[in-house]
Structure 1
């Protein structure tokens, strides 16, 4: 996904709003998840959105997403965000993100997804490190549920 960063997309520093980047990330991750599952999907979590460099007005924002790992009904998606200075051609890595989506059926119930078969070195690296990210995600979820249940107030 590529778009041109215009003045309404930016803050008073002339750089893109973080919330705008977040919307792009969720949208492209959802597309990647639907393409993989060939089913409707919903966003379950965003593990991280790490901003590395600003994207300035007049630059292009370029996002690439792919499914890194699947469990029974869930998919982890990695999103790489880059910027391009359209006058010089300089491309910079500006952010990255991991999100989790779940495939759902016509009744909104979780449904199985196909496995991931990594092909490139980058895909293999994300695939091999995904179980640890999933473990940490599950720990955060259990901790949040414990706090919400009132056992730690």
Structure 2
């Protein structure tokens, strides 16, 4: 498979923050923002590999700035790194006060997506290469993030095995 530049997968999504999207503080529900993040990351991943994808993990999502009702939210995503069947996608979300034009980064996140075949089995993805300084910076740190995800996934599996499907106090 031929390698592709990071920007081939660039995906941009804009939404107007309306009252049904907000909590009692008049700010965007965190879960709504996380759904936007997952959606834009999936589109970027499919653009890169041209195959169906599933979300394998989402790294921490830190809410840096509130997104107010009436603001616009703009999400940008692109593939920063690939490893066999998985892709790391960087997502940046920017809130914009549409009346003043003030823009702020409200969150950043990394997601791991896995390409799947017609049997929902993992399938290889093309390599990706960075071009800009920012892309190179993200790409250079990707292997460390990949190893961290692997360790975190192992710990999650151990927790799932230890606690099972029953309530913690029921021993089931």
TM range (shorter): over 0.9
* Number of the residue aligned with 1:123: 135
The answer as to whether partners of 1:48 and 1:99 remain within 8 angstroms in 2 is no
Task: Look up the SS of the partner of 1:48 in the other structure.
Answer: coil
Structure 2, unpaired ranges of 5+: 1-12
* Number of the residue aligned with 2:28: 16
CA RMSD of aligned residues (A): 1.4
User: Residues 90 and 139 from structure 1, CA distance in 2 versus in 1: closer, same or farther, beyond 3 angstroms?
Assistant: same
The answer as to whether partners of 1:79 and 1:98 remain within 8 angstroms in 2 is yes
Which portions of structure 1, spanning 4 or more consecutive aligned residues, are displaced by more than 3 angstroms?
A: 147-151
* Number of the residue aligned with 1:27: 39
Aligned counterparts, 1:46-57, within 5 A: 46-57=58-69
2:154 alignment partner, one of 142, 146, 151: 142
* Number of the residue aligned with 1:78: 90
Hey, what's the Cα distance between the residues in 2 that align with 1:20 and 1:147? Answer: 27
1:57-87 CA-to-partner distances (Å, cap 9, x unmatched) read: 0000000001010000000101000011111
